[in-house]
Structure formats: C-alpha cells, structure tokens
Amino acid sequence: MKGLNAKEAFLQYLLVERRYSEKTILAYGLDLDRWMEYLQLEAELDWRQATKAHVKRFIIVRSKQGSTARSINRNLSALRSFYKWAQREYLIEQNPTIGVRSMKMAKKVMMSVPEEDLLQLIKDGDDQFDAEFEGRRDRLMLVLLYGLGLRRAELVQLRESDFDWNRKIVRILGKRNKEREIPIPVILEEYVSEYLIARAELPEIHSPELLLTQKGKKLYPELVNIRVLSYLNTTTTVVNKNPHALRHSYATHLLNAGVDINTVKELLGHESLSSTQVYTTSTFEELVKVYNQTHPKGS
C-alpha cells in the first residue's frame, strides 16, 4: 500500500475495529493529510521514509505556524496511531514517532458548581421550571447531567429502556460504544416519572430517545447547552456554565465526599486514571474548608 491507500485502510481500521467516532476519524484523516503534504513539500519523501527528525521538525513548523500545544499533540496522536498500525501491518520497519515527546500544556482548571447552588436549583424547582413539558424535561435533564455525571452526547442518546429500576442502575453507552452501569440516585425516579407523564401528552413522538423537543424529536446538543446556561445563570456565579460543568461537579463532589478515585473513574467511563485525576482540583472555597477542618492552626 502507498500513501493515500494506506491512510484509507488505517481510517477503515479505526472505524471498524477500534469503533472511533466519525468526528475523530475525520480529524485523524486531516492530520495525516497535513503530515504527508509536509513530507512532500519539505523533504520530497513518502510517509514510509520519515524519520524521528522529520517528526520533530514537523512539530516545530506547526508551532511556528501558530498551532496550539493541544492541536499539535492531537497531530502526534494521529501519527503515533498510524505508524503503530503500519508497523503491525508490516508496511514499515521503524516507527518514526517512537521517542518523540508531546508538548507540555498548561493545565486547564474548571471550577465545580457548589453543591448548595445545585441543591438550591432543584429545591426551588417550582419557581425555576414550569409544570409543562419543557419545564419537566429541563429539570430532568439537569438532574441526569449532575446525578449521573453524563457527557452531553450520552444524555441526548439515553433511552427509557436503559433504566433498570429493579436493580437501580442505568446503562450508559459512552465513547467508542463502551457501556457502563451507574447507580440511580433515589431522587431521579420521581423526576423521570413526572417527565414521562408530560411526554406522553405530546402530539407526536418521532424518536426513541428519552429526552425530546416539543415536536417529539431527539434533543440536539446546542439546545442542551442553551438550557443549562440559562438555568445555571440564575443559580451560580461559577464561570463555566455548560453541560460538562455538571459532569465535572459530579466527579469533584464524589471525590470530596471520599469516594475512591478508581470508582469515580468507572462511573465516568474513563479509560485511564489520568483523565479522572483532572477532577481532583477543588475550588478555593473547598480547599479553605478542608484547611479549617484539618490544619492545627485552622479557624
């Protein structure tokens, strides 16, 4: 296989065997196109002739072009996966990405929404959410995001059949079709029941998902963003007011309550512990509270 053919075979492997999302596969394809174009223009080389020095030079060129460390590291991730696959398929002998380090990135700190703010939002539900269909749906949406720690994509594809009320668990289909089970909070059953009653009164239902629009269609991601922002704007002063902030809060509050990090990792559906460790960053207020409770000179 040469150049483009090898790339297409690799992308097919990601789709069929690794079950990557279409979005990820598209990004990997663009990264490989950029890499192969660079090799042709800079060194007149085929991708199989690349060396570690070429990969390092590619990083420097991308950096000078203004690419962020995150973007460059994604490029490297695509190259590593591609060359690892090519070596396994006996298309190359040496992997030029071996020993090439990723760029350091500044840690992004996301503050969790204080528990009291979230509890107040639910407590004042009659004031925040109307009794009509959309009000019931929005309240359930927020409780699902925070109570189960869901990703936005997981939320919109959730179905009524995913809930096992006898076992008190819900099945979540996460990234790369990886399934996990999460315990259902006691408060959730009431909100699901109230929502389903309101949903049954819709003129038509066109989609099998649990959360729907007023027209009976599958909830779309941007609407989730808009509704979460609207409700959190009235409740909390934290900067991040998006669906992921609720997932972040779910993880942070569990860790602060003493839940083992490996348990939180499984609940979130993370493949590596390093992804979960991001959530160990507490808010300043939380740090002060712990200091006051544990430090000998605490007030």
Concerning whether 151 is annotated as a catalytic residue, the answer is yes
Query: How would you class 219 by CB atoms within 10 Å of its CB: exposed for 0-12, middle for 13-18, buried for 19 or more?
Result: buried
Determine whether 146 is an active site residue: no
- Token pair, residue 41, equals 């223009």
Whether 244 is a known active-site residue: answer yes
CA-angle at 297, arms to 296 and 299, nearest 5°: 110
Q: Which long-range contacts (CB under 8 A, 24 or more apart) does 230-236 make?
A: 231/121, 231/128, 231/138, 231/142, 232/113, 232/121, 234/121, 234/128, 235/113, 235/117, 235/118, 235/120, 235/121, 235/128, 236/113, 236/114, 236/117, 236/118
Instruction: Say whether 199 is catalytic.
Output: no
Q: Helices in the chain by DSSP H: which ranges? A: 3-16, 22-43, 52-64, 69-88, 115-123, 125-128, 133-148, 152-156, 188-199, 221-233, 243-256, 261-268, 273-277, 284-294
Catalytic (active site) residue 253: no
Catalytic residue among 247, 248, 253, 265: 247
Strand pairing partners for 164? Answer: 169
Catalytic annotation, pick one of 56, 218, 244, 289: 244
Active site residue: 175, 180, 218, 227, which one? 175
Residues 6+ apart with CB under 8 A from 64: none
Nearest Cα to Cα of residue 113 among 233, 291, 226: 233
Listing DSSP states for 32-80 in one string gives: HHHHHHHHHHHH---GGG--HHHHHHHHHHHHHTT--HHHHHHHHHHHH
Q: Which of 34, 48, 151, 180 is catalytic?
A: 151
Residue 243 near residue 145, CB atoms below 8 Å? yes
DSSP letter assigned to residue 181: E
Q: Is 206 a catalytic residue?
A: no
Instruction: Return the active site residues.
Output: 151, 175, 244, 247, 270, 279
